[in-house]
């Protein structure tokens, strides 16, 4: 599958899908308090999808035949969990947790995808700094989404900032192109040298998603086949936006 540049009308439709994603993440952010379960968030997200007539991009997603389909509409990854954590009625948020929520939705044939990390009550200074560094690394990547730059400039912006702050970038999971499918070319690593890779052109839409840990970048997958955790069980944070390259500069489709 080749990289597909989007028309202005396509980008408008992607914007609509991504605003639904943003709304769900706002709902989850309001709920992100001690005593709430990650399943409570799952139920709220499903209700909103039904309300607006959108379809989950995650529910029953199965990238390979040897993996059970993903069983939820949200990915809820708490503390040392990096991505793809499965919501559960038994997972109760506690004071001091950090929780990364990833959500994707299809609306009128186009996909939106975004993620945020929430602080649950008062968190440690280390957890707060990790979250803020990860969020800023995404903004630095977005700044590179201009015509004539290269994909490596986006990746390098994340790595350079994160490592300058004493943290590590997860290397096993990457961002991606997005459009009529959730995962389209190209892959978007969060590390690598600048000045390399494809040239960014107007109409390119990428889901950029830094995943950052306070310890080693190495990860492992739990027995459920989905949940990714840091191997050293140090904290991880995750932010993501779907971003379009335009002649006027980057447009963050998943931000109101």
pLDDT in tens, 95-133: 999 999 999 999 999 999 999 999 999 999 999 999 999
User: Domain span at residue 156?
Assistant: 8-252
Taking all residues of the chain, what is their mean pLDDT, rounded to a whole number?
A: 97
Q: At what angle do helices 125-143 and 151-164 cross, to 10 degrees?
A: 160
pLDDT tens for each residue of 21-76: 999 999 999 999 999 999 999 999 999 999 999 999 999 999 887 789 999 999 99
Exposed/middle/buried for residue 217 (C-beta within 10 Å: 0-12, 13-18, 19+):
buried
Q: Is residue 3 part of a domain?
A: no
Q: Is residue 58 part of a domain?
A: yes
Tell me how far apart the alpha carbons of residues 74 and 92 are, in angstroms, rounded to a whole number: 16
Residues 241, 102 contacting (CB under 8 angstroms)? no
pLDDT tens for each residue of 209-219: 999 999 999 99
Q: Is residue 188 part of a domain?
A: yes
pLDDT tens for each residue of 131-169: 999 999 999 999 999 999 999 999 999 999 999 999 999
Residues 115, 103 contacting (CB under 8 angstroms)? yes
Strand ranges in the chain using DSSP code E only, listed in sequence order? 55-56, 74-78, 81-83, 98-107, 110-119, 168-169, 175-177, 184-188, 205-208, 211-213, 219-221, 228-230, 236-238, 241-244, 251-252
33 C-beta neighbours (distance < 10 Å), count: 12
Q: Is residue 2 part of a domain?
A: no
**What is the reported pTM?**
0.97
What's the 3-state SS for 165-206?
A: CCCEECCCCCEEECCCCCCEEEEECCCCCCCCCCECCCCCEE
Q: Is residue 1 part of a domain?
A: no
Tell me how far apart the alpha carbons of residues 238 and 140 are, in angstroms, rounded to a whole number: 15
Backbone CA torsion sign across 75, 78, 79, 84:
negative
- In order of 20, 95, 205, 254, the CA distances from 104 in angstroms are 9, 27, 15, 10
In the chain, how many domains are there? 1
Q: Is residue 128 part of a domain?
A: yes
How do beta strands 236-238 and 228-230 pair?
A: unpaired
pLDDT exceeds cutoff 90 at 176 = yes
CATH of residue 88's domain is 3.90.230.10
Residue 63: what pLDDT? 87
- In order of 66, 85, 88, the CA distances from 225 in angstroms are 10, 10, 15
Residue 56: what pLDDT? 98
Residues in a beta bridge with 103: 74, 114
Percent of the chain with pLDDT over 70: 100
Alpha helix locations (H) across 70-191?
Answer: 125-143, 151-164
Tell me how far apart the alpha carbons of residues 84 and 102 are, in angstroms, rounded to a whole number: 8
pLDDT exceeds cutoff 90 at 174 = yes
Q: Is residue 191 part of a domain?
A: yes
pLDDT tens for each residue of 218-230: 999 999 999 999 9
Q: Is residue 239 part of a domain?
A: yes
Whether omega before 186 lies within 30 degrees of 0, making that bond cis, reads yes
Q: Which pair of tokens denotes residue 31?
A: 């709920």
Confidence at 19, pLDDT banded by 50, 70, 90: very high
């Amino acid at each position: 599958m080749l990289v597909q540049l989007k028309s202005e009308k396509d980008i408008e439709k992607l914007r609509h899908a991504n605003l639904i994603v943003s709304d769900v993440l706002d709902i989850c952010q309001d709920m992100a308090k001690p005593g709430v379960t990650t399943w409570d968030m799952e139920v709220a997200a499903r209700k909103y999808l039904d309300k607006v007539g959108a379809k989950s991009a995650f529910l029953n997603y199965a990238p390979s035949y040897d993996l059970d389909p993903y069983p939820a509409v949200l990915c809820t990854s708490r503390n040392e969990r990096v991505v793809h954590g499965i919501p559960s009625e038994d997972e109760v948020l506690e004071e001091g947790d950090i929780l990364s929520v990833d959500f994707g939705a299809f609306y009128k044939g186009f996909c939106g995808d975004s993620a945020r990390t929430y602080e649950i009550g008062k968190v440690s200074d280390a957890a707060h700094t990790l979250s803020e560094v990860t969020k800023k690394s995404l903004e630095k990547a977005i700044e590179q989404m201009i015509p004539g730059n290269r994909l490596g400039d986006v990746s390098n912006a994340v790595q350079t900032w994160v490592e300058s702050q004493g943290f590590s970038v997860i290397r096993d999971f990457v961002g991606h192109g997005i459009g009529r499918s959730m995962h389209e070319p190209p892959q978007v690593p969060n590390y690598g040298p600048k000045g390399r890779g494809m040239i960014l052109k107007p109409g390119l839409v990428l889901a950029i998603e830094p995943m950052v840990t306070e310890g080693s970048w190495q990860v492992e997958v739990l027995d459920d086949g989905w949940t990714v955790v840091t191997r050293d069980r140090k904290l991880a944070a995750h932010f993501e936006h779907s971003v379009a390259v335009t002649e006027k500069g980057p447009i963050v489709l998943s931000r109101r």
